[in-house]
Homo-oligomer: A and B are copies of this chain.
């Protein structure tokens, strides 16, 4: 059980943009600073833009920036929107279920409660909470810039 690389990179991208409150940042720069593939990041950014979390600006001086204040970006919502599959077991999906006892089994209810508890924790946080160690995070990014 783990988050997809897509969600992981989406969260990293949002954290980077939340730390850099200056001009729009090119995708290649974010990818280099945050240890991601640029090709993958471009796909992630397209989704984050479609979801209204970031804005992309084309042309000279273009790049990516947050489309909302960090306080308005809920981490639980981001994870729900970027994970492509939250069906923890095959019985969550009636179309692809292959377990004959699914209709009476309590396991899917149990897993559903567990998943709700998981997201209840993440729903308590916004991007602003993750940016609280701002100085330490910025220093680590500066070190990465020097070593790149």
Which residues of A are in contact with B by a Cβ distance under 8 Å? Answer: 1-5, 7-8, 11-12, 15, 33-35, 75, 83, 85-90, 98-101, 103-107, 110-111, 113-115, 117-122, 125, 129-130, 132-133, 136-137, 139-141, 143-144
Contact = CB atoms under 8 A, between A and B. Distances in A.
Which 5 residue pairs across A and B have the least CB separation, nearest first?
A104-B136, A114-B121, A117-B117, A100-B144, A118-B118
A113 B117 contact: no
Q: How many copies does the complex hold?
A: 2
A15 B107 contact: yes
Nearest to A110: B125
A139 B103 CA distance: 11
B107 A114 contact: no
A75 B88 CA distance: 15
8 contacts: A15-B101, A34-B100, A100-B141, A101-B141, A106-B130, A113-B121, A115-B118, A118-B118
Contacts of A90: 5, 8
Contacts of A129: 106, 110
A129 B35 CA distance: 45
